[in-house]
Structure 1
Amino acid sequence: MTGEELLDLAAKQAALGELAGAPADDPVNVPMIRHWLAAMGDRNPVYLDRGLAPPAMAQVWTMTAPAPGDRSPVSVMMGALDEAGYTGVVATNCEQTYHRYVRVGELLTPATRFTGLAGPKRTALGEGFFATWVVTWYAGEGEPVAEMLFRVLKFRPPEKRAEPYPLRPSVNRDTAFFWDGVRRGELRVQSCADCGELRHPPGPMCPRCHSANRAHVVARGEGVVYSYVVHHHPPVPGRETPFVVAVVELPEGVRIVGNVVDCPPESVAVGMPVRVAYRPMDDELVLPVWTPGEP
């Protein structure tokens, strides 16, 4: 439903006016009052001494389990909002008015009136509608003893983002070029801008000529397993064990550590051809991993 259609439906539900519900299953009784007083820490003796119920208990006497097929105006409206994607709900305010004390032995009957829908509105929780209804409790021959205005915000929850992957690489001035390449689908290997020596892991100085001038080349993304371990224990956050960690030798002459995926751990072997792949671990992090390649 569109927002306009939801507002039209709300107007129709409000036009139905107050609709009476079923009488309470049990009359106002002492055991329930005693339980309420104990739960609330209320030691006022007037209730049990005079056979009166605390006014705030009004809703307790007529509460029932949700009934399948309930087509009350409130249920119809809440269902329509759910179907339109406004599945989040939070109570925003509740105002109760008490006309008199309810006495032990009285049987209460609730009546509900849907009063309106306001929105759509932007809130901190997301876009939503404020739905309001009023419940009135009657005793005897229709004497109102209490009423409650209840308002909720039905909002559209934001799209759930993936949980951040807990094992995040350290990115600094020496390694930023490598992770920039991974995000672009490139396996970059640091090189010396003076003598051309390749090195991995990246570092601030060339081990051959000691130059601090750095560049990089893009590797083909193919290699062979030089050595590996199968990790079983201890548990690693964000990973299911067992998994393979391998040292992969590239034809460019350097070795890179990474996980071997998309195959059972027992199928991994030294000399196994592998090819690089890039796996999103969460909304921000991409890691290079190794998959079985062509022999």
Structure 2
Amino acid sequence: MIRHWCEAMGDTGPAYRGPDAVAPATMLQVWTMGGLTGHADHADHAGHAGHAESADEADRADRAGRGGRTEAYDELLALLDEAGCTSVVATDSEQEYLRPLRPGDEITFEAVIESVSARKTTRLGTGYFVTTRTDVRVGAELAGTHRFRILKYAPVRRQPKPPRPRPVVNRDNAGFWEGVARRRLLIQRCTGCAALRHPWLPGCNACGCPDWDTVEASGAGTVYSYVVMHHPRFPAFSPSEGGPGPAGPYAVGLIELAEGVRMVSNVIGVPYDKVRIGMPVRLVFQTYDEDLVLPVFRAGEGAA
């Protein structure tokens, strides 16, 4: 078993080979485990090639065959299940090493429920932290202690995903959003000096003329600048945009359109850490729910 462990860990330390070998300290829990089948063969689960002879040793071997779990532990988990704490997650473990273990040592162990916390509220739900302690002995001598802690909890009832926040539409920018709804990206153009502008304004910031019309953007652009958003993550956003889930950060770009104006939007199509200044992008309209369409910019193949 020492050889198997060292091979799995890639540990070639000389202390674990030869007639004077010791077991790696972090193998402490291994000697109390019953294997994949959970069998209760006394010779295997007493911890070495010796045989369990007493009733106490037989009981310990039986517990080892069940992964070291005692009947009291199983009863406690059943009580917590009845209280609604039907989910479990391992939180941490601690080991203390008091003496090296060597081939031929007869290992025995005692597992106890050391503590059950008061009811706690966590992000996963409310429940109890249960700590078990396993004392590993060679004869009467304590060789090491292993503590293992779980959270047995009642899962939080997930609320329906809230709708994505809507853009603020007012009389100055209503035409822009009407265009987006029709899958058209409209840019304001001053009828006095022909300057293009974005975002939309009630008058030209170049000549002051209040009159304007629009031109439709071609959809081509480049990343002028960008930021990577890490936090906070809003429930209304999908995982690829920083919402709950395994996906990570997302990129928000300042996009320079081929027409010369710039606008802020998401950069999609490539991982956030692959976005670069000068990267070509192409406008796409993305539907988020029944009545929300937003312009975003796709990088990657076909963006140029």
Give the TM-score of the pair, scaled to structure 1: 0.43
| Greater relative contact order structure (CA < 8 Å, 6+ sep) | 1
